[in-house]
Amino acid sequence: MRPLQETTLPTSSRASAPRLSNGLVALLCLFVFPTAAPAAGRPNVVYILADDLGFGDVSILNPERGRIRTPHLDALARAGTIFTDAHSSSSVCTPTRYGLLTGRYAWRTRLQRGVLDGADDDPLIAEGRLTVPAFLRRHGYATAAIGKWHLGFRSKYPPGASTPAPKEQGKRRMGEAGLPVGARILGGPTTRGFDYFWGCSNARTMSGLIENDRVIENLPPAEMLPRLGRRAVDYITERGPAARAGQPFFLYVPLTSPHTPILPSPEWKGRSSLGDYADFILQTDAVVGDLLAALAAQGLAENTLVIFTADNGCSPQAGTAELEAKGHFASAALRGYKADIWEGGHRVPFFARWPGRVPAGRTSDQLICHTDLLATMADLLGERLPDDAGEDSVSLLPALLGRDRAPLREAVVHHSIHGAFAIRQGAWKLAFAPGSGGWGKPGDAEARRAGLPAAQLYDLAQDLAESRNLQAEQPAVVARLTALLEGYVTRGRSTPGAPRPNDVPVSWREPARAPAR
């Protein structure tokens, strides 16, 4: 499958071979030690995850159908490699974050559909399961998460707090349902591999600012994004001396934007002329720019792998119809949005920069998934993962270094908000749903009433917009992909290794029935 909008990059910079910017020595090192860290030491890793940012919301990916300009993200993309076929493991938030941090599809857990409530949930990541930060910490990394968690924790209210945090729909919708100051967090990020956490639970509870395992402040939700940006910059500054001395850090920055509530700061309102959502994206882009500037100021840019991506596609709640009327298509040429099984639900921006190691100015059409981070980090450090970890994680290091000459993944499994499955192999994508599997039209119930087939098969090399269902014309492809997905489900893994149990029985042939909205 060819890269999308390949012409947005200079022709001279699209070569798949590594660039020779560091001379013959760097080239020889790359060939002899293709997975080794640079001589300066193991790289720092900064992983930035936007929330509900569409593939077409980044201007370098959508020059023809986009009107929002993202200069810092565009610069990051040009300085590294653009992956045009990158996917979140779900088309909604919580399961994507689970997969990213554990290397395992979240549908193997109790979370078969939807997201965690965020107010007071049992942690979705089981105690003792290996996570990316826990793995890196074993190998000498300092680890921090600054941003939105949304993977569950229990809470203990402080003395004198007789009533729970407000749960009225209006307050939850505006992010004002955070826990009270002094509440203790049980089973949160610092129990799942992170040395340090600073942020909030989710969009509904943004007012409760948490440091490590305590709520330290209640703040207006509109202040969360700028505060997160400043705290992440401060963390980079604080870690600078140790990182320069050889102790690397892993900084996970799951932003709260541009997810609802869409609350651009006053100085950003009106900047885009397209409305609050576009303004919020401009502000998000500026936060990324601040993080990159902080790395440069600390002399860390050359030895830091920076990855930017998003947890799923743009939400229709962002006002996609109004944006399209103004000429901006948040999913670019893709069908669907957040929550859907179609590409717009889970194909996301993905840029990687590591000067001298990740080729600059390159696009890659390698099929990749957020679950691949754990195996990639293990490969980067020359370590093996235990057999009971990263069951759905494949190392992307050859693609990051520009040395991939064949597909790295056998296939990727997609999952929608209502529990619909799809499997992608090569150009073929088979969805086990008659409709969107989510909020898009037609939804599954509507599609059933219209008599649409129970499955959808698309050749994405010829039909990226998923407009022609080929399931009746290609029964052999349907049978092959069906068997492949069944094997992934029953074996408890999609990677080589001993079979592993899923946490619960997994039903994948029929999408779960959508609840009333």
Which amino acids are annotated catalytic?
A: 93, 150
Please tell me the distance from the alpha carbon of residue 151 to that of residue 122, in angstroms, as a whole number.
9
Burial pattern 472-499, b for ≥16 Cβ within 10 A else e, equals: eebeebbeebbebbeebbebbbbbebee
Please tell me the distance from the alpha carbon of residue 281 to that of residue 509, in angstroms, as a whole number.
37
Burial pattern 45-80, b for ≥16 Cβ within 10 A else e, equals: bbbbbbbbbbbbbbbbbbeebbbbbbebbbbbbbbb
Token pair of 115, please? 């997201």
Token pair of 254, please? 């799951």
**Closest of 347, 283, 335, 365 to residue 96, by C-alpha:** 347
Please tell me the distance from the alpha carbon of residue 341 to that of residue 95, in angstroms, as a whole number.
14
Q: C-alpha angle with apex 110: 445 to 202, nearest 5 degrees?
A: 85
- Cβ 508 vs Cβ 414: under 8 Å: no
Q: CA separation (Å) from 27 to 11, 21, 184, 244, 292?
A: 22, 9, 51, 24, 26
- DSSP string of 252-300, one letter each residue: EEE---SSSS----TTTTTSSSS-HHHHHHHHHHHHHHHHHHHHHHTT-
Q: What DSSP element (H or E) covers 320?
A: helix 320-325
Provide the 3-class DSSP secondary structure of residue 306.
strand
CA torsion angle 497 93 410 33 (round to 10): -80
- Cβ 233 vs Cβ 182: under 8 Å: no
Token pair of 162, please? 């007789």
Please tell me the distance from the alpha carbon of residue 373 to that of residue 131, in angstroms, as a whole number.
10
- Cβ 183 vs Cβ 215: under 8 Å: yes
Please tell me the distance from the alpha carbon of residue 48 to that of residue 256, in angstroms, as a whole number.
11
- Judging by DSSP bridges, how do beta strands 362-364 and 81-83 pair with one another? parallel
